[in-house]
Amino acid sequence: MSTNETSTGRRYRGVSGEDRKEERRLKLIQAGIDVFGEKGYHGSTVRSICQAAGVTERYFYESFANGEELFCATYLHLMDLLRNELLAASQSAEKDPEAMARALLTVFFRHMREHPLAARIAFIEVLGVSPRIDQLYRDNTEAFARLLIAVARGLYGEDRRPVGDYNEDWLATGLVGAVIIITHRWILEDFKTPEEVIVHNAYGIYRAVVRHWLDVATPA
């Protein structure tokens, strides 16, 4: 084997073929953010995304079967970035339940305002594209509800559980749903309402639900 080759493919200027393929894939995802965010899913084409990424259609199909597959990858990439930012914020925030909630909501809504194209993809364009993407959206909504439960348990104690007909999964799902609807409206108004107002009102919903949650909670 030549010194310019590896078991994963020919090297070019010190970069393996697999690394170059991954670079092109990431370029296409970034182009997907720009194009899907500006034109919407149905207004975007493979050609327009390739032009934005600076790659040929041949290289598009090297990584993605079609535009829907790229949209899935773009959506999951954006959700990973958001989840990682929230996790980092939860580790550095004050370990007081209400201070933590306000800090996480601030990080979430600021992320939306600072990344409007990503926000539009994640909360508007994702809706109604296909059954596959609908399922991805539901899966991620449930994942954020589980994240909320994990954070709440860490703050309030593993032995605190709602009783009777109250269920922490449904309470968390309702809180996440409220945040999603607020975010959806905020995006559609082009973030006109000040961020602090959005955070304050979302926090008010959280505080009311969680305080009631604790009122009816009992050791498991």
pTM: 0.84
Separation CA 113–CA 216 (nearest Å): 36
CA distances from 107 to 14, 144, 153, 196 (A): 39, 14, 20, 11
Q: Architecture of 1-64 per CATH?
A: Orthogonal Bundle (1.10)
- How would you write the pLDDT of the chain (220 residues) with one tens digit per residue? 333 434 344 555 556 678 889 999 999 999 999 999 999 999 999 999 999 999 999 999 999 999 999 999 999 999 999 999 998 998 888 888 788 889 999 999 999 999 999 999 999 999 999 999 999 999 999 998 988 888 777 777 666 665 566 778 888 899 999 999 999 999 999 999 999 999 999 999 988 887 776 665 555 5
- Nearest CA-CA partner of 187 in 121, 130, 135, 136: 121
Q: Domains of the chain: which residue ranges?
A: 1-64, 71-219
Q: Which fold has domain 71-219?
A: Tetracycline Repressor; domain 2 (1.10.357)
